[in-house]
Amino acid sequence: MRVLVTGGAGFIGSHFAERLLKAGEDVVVLDLLTYAGDEANVPQRVEFRRGDVASKADVEAVGEFDAIVNFAAESHVDRSILGPHDFARTDVLGALALAEVARERDVRLVQVSTDEVYGDVTEPAAEKAPLRPSSPYSAAKAGGDLQVLAAVRTYGLDACVTRGSNTYGPRQYPEKLIPLFVTNALDGEPLPLYGDGRQVRDWLHVEDHCAAIELVLREGAPGEVYNAGAGEEHENVELAHRILGLTGADPSLLRHVEDRPGHDRRYSLDSSKLRALGWKPEKAFDKGLEETVDWYRENRAWWKPRKSGEYRAYYERQYAERLR
């Protein structure tokens, strides 16, 4: 199978490309190389094309493929609050363009989505739960999902949607909670914890997330949505203390700062549908977090340059006032 992996120069997509290669598949990556993407993340032996998923012409120019797995997105909630337009463009119009090409070529599309589309919940959300996105990011992801599912119903597109929970592991851009706190702790910089820090996220290791998506690509039923959560729900404040412990940083680096507007309190998924298909997470959070902290400790050369340039301007805008 030749699989088009869009967004494969980013965090999860690059791990997924690696996984498909190991499984003996042929992979082509299409990625715009935004601030979050880097060709160096794309595994060797994978063909790379620079292009925009929201441009049908860019997708068509890739050539032949047998399936598409769409990771391409603007993916950071805080950036979506600062400026939502790129999110709507890539996450909605990108999914739409890919659905059109997949339909015209009669190939399968897997739309990689997120638990955030259900909004914050008090009980685990199953796939039929209402979509109640809270942020411009999650609203855009919900829009992408709906375009894909509408194309299934209207045109008979062969597509599935996956909704994974908060993902962590090596090569995650240092704007997200775990890599931000780990790299700040390693550098002796403050860890800015939003609000009371009692928000809950369900932490899924990137390899387990990729295994879920691969299973859906191979065995998912057309038109179905599959949740993938590890069942590892932890409060942010607990996670921050674990990171301080694992890095040996001074606990006084932890700072409670002004909250994220519209901040979702808890994400929680009912993943029994995907488990019935044979998926289960393999990596315990304790071990996965320890290994991830080790990876960032040993790979300063990967993350140091990513925390300069455009990142500094973003960091100032997002945190300077909060940390004053």
222 vs 261 by CB, closer to ligand DAU:
261
276 burial type by CB count under 10 A (0-12 exposed, 13-18 middle, 19+ buried): exposed
Indicate the residue whose CB is closest to ligand NAD: 10
Distance CA 254, CA 177 (A): 13
From the list 24-32, 188-196, 278-286, 293-301, the region that binds ligand DAU by CB under 6 A is 188-196
Greatest C-alpha distance within the chain: 57
Q: Using CB under 6 A as the criterion, what x/- string covers residues 204-243 for binding ligand NAD?
A: ----------------------------------------
Instruction: Residue 171: name its binding partner from ligand DAU, ligand NAD, none (Cβ under 5 to 8 Å by kind).
Output: none
Does position 311 interact with ligand DAU (CB under 6 A)? The reply is: no
Single residue of 3, 20, 28, 72 touching ligand NAD by CB under 6 A: 72
Name the 3-class secondary structure at 277: coil
Report whether 108 contacts 217 (CB < 8 A). Answer: yes
Q: H/E/C letters for each residue in 166-220?
A: CEECCCCCCCCHHHHHHHHHHHCCCEEEECCCCCEEECEEHHHHHHHHHHHHHHC
Closest distance of CB 45 from ligand DAU, Å: 27
**Kind of pairing between the strands at 233-235 and 200-202:** antiparallel
Q: Is 137 a catalytic residue?
A: yes
The residue assigned the tokens 């769409």 is 70
Instruction: Residue 199: name its binding partner from ligand DAU, ligand NAD, none (Cβ under 5 to 8 Å by kind).
Output: ligand DAU
Distance CA 203, CA 243 (A): 14
**Kind of pairing between the strands at 159-164 and 108-114:** parallel
Q: Is 116 a catalytic residue?
A: yes
Q: Is 120 a catalytic residue?
A: no
Instruction: Residue 226: name its binding partner from ligand NAD, ligand DAU, none (Cβ under 5 to 8 Å by kind).
Output: none
Single residue of 53, 217, 225, 246 touching ligand NAD by CB under 6 A: 53
**Kind of pairing between the strands at 47-50 and 26-31:** parallel
Instruction: Residue 201: name its binding partner from ligand NAD, ligand DAU, none (Cβ under 5 to 8 Å by kind).
Output: ligand DAU
Single residue of 94, 174, 192, 220 touching ligand DAU by CB under 6 A: 192
Distance CA 285, CA 111 (A): 26
Binding to ligand NAD (CB under 6 A) within 141-180 occurs at 141, 164, 166-167, 173
Q: Which residues bind ligand NAD (CB under 6 A)?
A: 6-7, 9-13, 31-34, 36-37, 52-54, 71-75, 90, 94, 112, 114, 141, 164, 166-167, 173
**Mind telling me the catalytic residues?**
115-116, 137
